[in-house]
Amino acid sequence: MSDHLTTDRTDPTTAFDCPSCGTSSTGVPRDHCPQCLHTRHRDSADPCGAPMAPLAVAVHGPGDWRLIHRCTACATLTSAPVRADDHQVALMALAVRPLAQPPFPLGLLGRI
């Protein structure tokens, strides 16, 4: 099982068929679905072709958001830039998930 993070995806296509929701996008190069943010594992290091689920949003600086995906078959992590036409609610839901689902009971916050 791989735990490395690949930051560059090769050969984004001009047509993208989502392995999760079935959305088809054409016209601009895409490496993930603009609706549900899923993708397919196709980087050059280990292109197993399995679906990849969005795991998190990483912010590297003002205006530099990246999607972090995990392969459902081999657990490889990849990163891809957020696109202007990505579903804004889906992005925000992914970004706030750690706050909405912390790894501890929220009741403990009142004791700090």
Domain membership flag for residue 77 = yes
- Its domain, for residue 33, covers 22-97
pLDDT bucket at 6, cuts 50 / 70 / 90: very low
Q: Compute the average pLDDT of residues 93-106.
A: 86
Compute the Cα dihedral for 30, 35, 37, 40 and give only its sign.
negative
The number of distinct structural domains making up the chain is 1
Domain membership flag for residue 85 = yes
Domain membership flag for residue 12 = no
Q: Are 65 and 91 in contact (CB under 8 A)?
A: yes
Domain membership flag for residue 10 = no
Domain membership flag for residue 93 = yes
Domain membership flag for residue 82 = yes
Q: What percent of the chain has pLDDT over 70?
A: 76
Q: What is the largest CA-CA distance in the chain?
A: 53
pLDDT bucket at 91, cuts 50 / 70 / 90: very high
Task: Compute the residue count for the chain.
Answer: 112
What does the pLDDT look like over 23-70, one tens digit per residue? 777 666 678 888 789 888 876 666 788 899 999 999 888 888 999 999
Q: What's the rounded Cα separation, in Å, for the pair 16 and 10?
A: 14
Distance set, CA 17 to CA 2, 34, 41, 92 (Å): 25, 10, 13, 23
pLDDT of residue 94: 93
Domain membership flag for residue 5 = no
Q: Residue 90 pLDDT more than 90? A: yes
Domain membership flag for residue 84 = yes
